[in-house]
Amino acid sequence: MGIFELDENHTIVTECFMNSNIYYIDNFYKNPDEIIDFLEHHDAPLHRPGQHPHYKSLNGIHFFDMRHEIIVDEIENVSSYLSSICGQSAINQKNLLMTNKSKFLPCRFNDYKNKYWHPHIDHGYTAIIYLNVDDEECGTNLYTNVIIDDKNSFGEHVTPWRSNYNWSVIKHLKPKFNRCVIFDGLKFYHGMNICNDKYFGDQYRLNQVLFFE
């Protein structure tokens, strides 16, 4: 077996939250340290989605939003397994390994004390596998929009920080190492919980992501 083999002793806990199931799978991978080593030896370029026609991306200036996108045949088994749990089909190529690798520069722009990072929705269920050994705080927030937030909302790489007057955290998904969390990313606005300066130095916040619909 390869490095993306699932741990046969993993456990699944299902929580019903606001009439939607959230799945927590602890001890997800058998060899998570080997996965981290694998990712460290592969480049994660800056994420370059569709650019706003009038505003320059700030990715690589105030923060670093980097993504691995690597074809790994073993990921097809991971994707199929998670699909069987959430009951939805994978959006992306089933053997595509995707990550989020992020860090921030210490500047006024990154005002995590008064703002939340990019509340957004996806196409359906979203799976996140947390890969930081020493972090149990900077996981994923689920939000509700309490005041319409349409001022200068030009996307994740132009105006990613949104005022905490507009959004309220309704649940925090804890980033336990080697835990996979599956939640309805279409039902719940969500975004990474940057609540301290842990990732304002040399360390990156790292997780694997899979998307379903």
pLDDT digits (tens, 9 = 90+) for 101-158: 999 999 999 999 999 999 999 999 999 999 999 999 999 999 999 999 987 777 889 9
Mean pLDDT of the region 75-82: 98
pTM (predicted TM-score)? 0.95
d(CA 133, CA 126): 21
Decide if pLDDT at 69 tops 80: yes
d(CA 102, CA 89): 27
What is the pLDDT at residue 61? 96
pLDDT tens digit sequence for 17-37: 999 999 999 999 999 999 999
Q: Are the CB atoms for 166 and 148 separated by under 8 Å?
A: yes
What is the pLDDT at residue 50? 66
Secondary structure (3-state) at 202: coil
Q: Are the CB atoms for 71 and 97 separated by under 8 Å?
A: yes
Q: Report all structural domains of the chain as residue ranges with CATH numbers, in order of start.
A: 11-46+61-211 (2.60.120)
What is the pLDDT at residue 91? 97
Query: What number of other Cβ atoms are within 10 A of residue 9's Cβ?
Result: 8
